[in-house]
Amino acid sequence: MSDLKIVVIGGVAAGPKAAARAKRCNPDAQVTLIEKGEWISYGGCGLPYYLGATVKDLNDLMTTSWDAVRTPEFMKATKDIDTLLGWEATRINRADKTVEVKEVKTGEVKILPYDKLVIATGAENFKPPMENINATGVFGMKTPKDAVDMQNYIKTEGVESAVVIGAGLIGMECAEAFANWGLDVTIIEMQGSIFPQVLDAEMGAVFQNYLEGEDLNFMLNTKVEKILVNEEGKVSGVQTDKGTVDAQLVLVAVGVRPCVQLAVDAGLEVDKAIIINDHCQTSDPDIYAAGDCVMTTNLISGQRVYAPMGSTANRQGRVIGTNITGGDEVHKGVLNTAVCKMFDWSLGATGLSERVAKQLGYDTVTAIVPGPDITHFMPGKKLIMTRLVAGRKTRKIPGVQIVGPGKVDKRIDTMVAALTFGATVDDLANMDLSYAPPLSSAMENLTNAANVMKNTIEGKAHDMRYEEFKSKLDSDDVVFVDLRTAHERAQKAIPAKHQLHIPIEELRARANEVPKDKEVVVFCILSTRGFEGQLILNNAGYDNVKFVQGGIQFWPLDK
């Protein structure tokens, strides 16, 4: 295969990875990388951090681990890959196995023969059909140019306020970047919670409550009807179905659409994105595809999903590089794993959300368990909230979400491994997780969440979800029993109409003070005492007792 000709279309993530891997597997292969933009192999997920000036130099997003900038010259010198930068692939001729490419600046056309072809054309920002969507001061975030242009606009146009349309990962990360510039930021989202594709609504509410404390403003369940401009044609705000919001900059972050026209014109199988098998082959066995332009498989549901993530693109690119040079590797699919850090909090999720699991027909049980990220007696401990979903009968775990100021990513990665191999709550409860007081707890958060889930499935724990808890605060038929200390009560009150203060240490002796003709809801900070209180009252003859799932520390009770 010394004369193997490989053409790779797309130079951001999957394409360069496939090209580099192919050369490592077959140094004699002739590899040509085509990229219509101005940059290759850049860290697109780092663009919000350049926008917010956390990353100072744009070139830092295009460097190797030893700080060499990836340029066409670098690719040729180190990897023997020919790079056509500023060239666009315009046509694939499968019959004679050629690709037509055109130089963007000059219009010059070349025909490149291939034995194996890789399509890594990525995705583009979706622009909703909205009045003034192309006005000055309206931006998307996809390429380095987007980040540079936005940063320059903020610096030169006296921007004081910004509107972000869309509360997904990119929109929210850019919202933090705008806040770092001192802008007044409003995030507008059509759905009822933030990070709607990552977090269930309850977890989104917890994270939103924190972000509002960082002075971000939110308008949920809100539709932007048009973008407003001034007499100079520059953005002056947005009009929504709930009123107008003034702003001198608007970021449209309502998702991306895969770039598939090249594949469609070539007659490849496409369903929203390019269809590939587990070897990353398209419907043409000599054409492979990867990254944000393809559909992949969800490992839990087994269904095709669109999951545009840089990490997935790189893994798929490596599989392609191996296979087009004679190897045999597979990419089985994804868990839709995502992590994000905003200010001092992080969030993470993997697998199916409860909402999606129910849509797919899963009979689910949910456990929400807060706790410190390291042993409680160690300085520097920070809280996290873990939301575990499991099948009521199968006890298998389809998904987990974690939010809070403590360490999230380590636990999400642990759950990626657990979900990949089909773990049950019993498996998770007995996993030999590491323990040392400065780093973790003897009963790790994931262990606790699994044990709470077991108690729930087995009928020992009777909990109440946050929304139900909130809806009953004014009820005459419910009494709330506060198990916290007097000092803890002074830190955060709940606006319940009927409540008793009985610290957990006194509950056995004072159980007779709790009325038996009402529903009883016991609560504490993190729900540990709540479960204990439920058991104490059950033993004292109270049948209608529940504890507040997750305690009250994280819930935004003032809304």
Residue 151: closest CA among 36, 230, 54 = 54
Q: Is 293 part of the annotated catalytic residue set? A: no
Give the C-alpha separation, 46 to 341, whole Å. 12
- CA angle centred on 204, ends 184 and 431, rounded to 5°: 135
d(CA 174, CA 126): 16
Could you say which of 25, 45, 174, 259 is catalytic? 45
- Helix or strand (DSSP H, E) at 348: strand 345-351
Residues 60, 63, 67, 70, CA torsion sign: negative
| End-to-end CA, the chain | 66
Q: In the structure encoding, which two tokens stand for residue 107, read together?
A: 């219009």
- Look at residue 264 and give its three-state secondary structure: helix
The secondary element (H helix, E strand) that includes residue 296 is strand 296-297
The arrangement of strands across the sheet holding 224-229 comes to 224-229, 235-240, 243-246
Residue 159 CB partners (closer than 8 Å, separation 6+):
153, 181, 183, 248, 249
Alpha carbons 343 and 216: distance in angstroms, whole number: 11
> Tokens for 58?
């744009």
Do the Cβ atoms of 235 and 154 come closer than 8 Å? no
Cα distances from 232 to residues 101, 134, 135, in angstroms, run: 39, 14, 10
Measure the CA–CA gap between 154 and 181, rounded to whole angstroms: 8
Torsion of Cα atoms, 277 then 281 then 283 then 286, to 10°: -160
Return the active site residues.
45
